[in-house]
Structure 1
Amino acid sequence: MKKTLAIILSASLVLSATALPAFAAVDTTTSSTIPAESAAPVAAPAAPKAPAATKAPAAAAPATMIKGDTYTVVSGDVLWRIAQKHNMTTDALIKLNPQLKNTNLIFPGDKIVVKATPAAAPAAPAVAAKKLYQGVGMVANYRDNSARGANNDNLNITTASVLFDDKGKIVELEWDVVEITPKMFPGWMDPAAEDKSFYKDAQTKGFPWETKREEGYAYDMTHLKAKGAADNLSKKEWFEQLDVYEELFKGMTVAEVNDWFAKYCGPDGRPYKMAYLDKLTDAQKAAIPATFTDAEKKMLVDVTTGATMALQDPHSRFIDALNKANDDQKEVKF
């Protein structure tokens, strides 16, 4: 019995000693049993390392609700049914609602976006208003046309109405001519036959004349009305040919128009008729500068297909009227 108790006590002491942590062992020796000079210094037990601090995960920013038309969830609603009500797919509805943490869990009172509001287009930068200038030019010249017979002389008043931009370029251009002939004045050549009522009406109503533009096809430069078939080269009427020139000169300055006229028109004031070389005389062909490039020749073919009338001759002074309009231009006030 005593022997058994001694064994149990010995085992308990061993277990107690081994259960103590290493850094907590107690040194029971004293200075009387170990000489001072031979005693090795006892190292202080190392302090345990503090566990490395772990960063808490950053809280996810709440998803912003897309702006638009919304639907308020009621009891019994599910996303697919809401999508169906609004003629859309469930996927499309989910994309419109990134604020939903769990698309399977929606609650009465939740706001569900069912139609996004289109993003407003960025405002266009303010652009300074461009200035425009209006110029009107009028030039009169008398034409001796007696070679065609008596009473064929005429007085021509050529006008140019031009809109210029702030760089002097032509934005809009309209030329016109009033051709005044003896036939317009009763009694001009025969005073005895003078119609006094004509002049009386003219004082109050103005002269009953039309410009060539106003006459339109009735002017009959093509001779279609007189002969039944157009016999001029371009087969175009007076105002139609003038339209070709006006379109050609848009975007040019008046100085550039003058340069174009000087380079591409002959002494008769007409552009070189590159579109009708087979109908020109040898002298007319010889007058065409040999220095024209292929591009210039093609340009003249394009122009003279639509217009061959003179820009400056005793009949009309289109270039002079344009220069006059350029000199007299004034800013347009809106």
Structure 2
Amino acid sequence: MRISRTRTRTATGLVISALALGTLPAWAAPSESAASAASAASAAPARAVAAARPAPADAVRQIPLQGAVNVRDVGGYRTYDGEQVRDGRVFRADALGKLTDADLVTLGRLGLKKVIDFRVPAEVSYDGADRLPGGLVPVSRPITDNGLFTQLLTVIGSRDPVKQEEMLGNGRAAAFMRDVYRTFVTDATNRAQFAATLRDIADSRSPLLYHCTSGKDRTGWTTYLLLRLVGVPDRTAVGDYLASNTYRAAYDARLRESLKQGGLMQNPDLIIPLQEVRTDYLDTALGEATQRYGGFQGYLTKGLGLDARTILKLRERLVD
């Protein structure tokens, strides 16, 4: 008897949901790819992240804009079962307050119906509110950066190389970033904001965009969760996360040079760990999830409160 494509996709979605939640229905015998998914999901976070490599360049869909450098379509990636994340459904971005009129035209063509802003009030006050196509009002859903933005402004504004070295040197900047990533798991408000965003994506029938200031940490973690939830391999999801370094490299280098030329920092390379994403940071969040919730699956179910129905809806909405 022929099984319809809809029934087949539903069954596949249930398997993906079960894998993400750490349980497999009794009727579902895992295929080789599904077994690989389960193995990857249960592997030690440090080992999984350390083995990751960036995704192929053509798999990352950048939206070129003049006023933002890290705007991307989350679609285009292959799942474990060989299907593909749909283009034009979910977008990730950095701050949108400096978009040009031409950028607004480009953004308008995406058909966005919801924009979610993860920035805390201090970031919005400094960088400005989102500049969006007519009719769009951003949803403020602040996720704490653990004081990163304020600390960065304070240390740069001091113009004191000794103080800057004391605050950022000898691995302290990277350690601070690891602390930021821990809050993605430990902070109840952060967990609620991530979960609400994933549910919005599952429930929305229109294109949606979420962003923070640099589009790399809070936005990167959200995208990593989303891609893993719909069945994209860990290696690919990490590749998307790391791509922020490529898209932000020129902008961040210019910022460091301007800090030096303006006399604000003698050694602006001190802020590189704050500007970059690193597998070490992602590994910290995954390790915290293991410590507190028993693993990635526990973080999804207990930490974020996601159920199989939500994950199946994500899969149905995003995967061809």
| Structure 1 length-normalised TM | 0.22
- More helix, by proportion: 2
- Using CA pairs under 8 Å that are at least 6 residues apart, name the structure with larger relative contact order, 1 or 2: 2
Max Rg structure: 1
- More strand, by proportion: 1
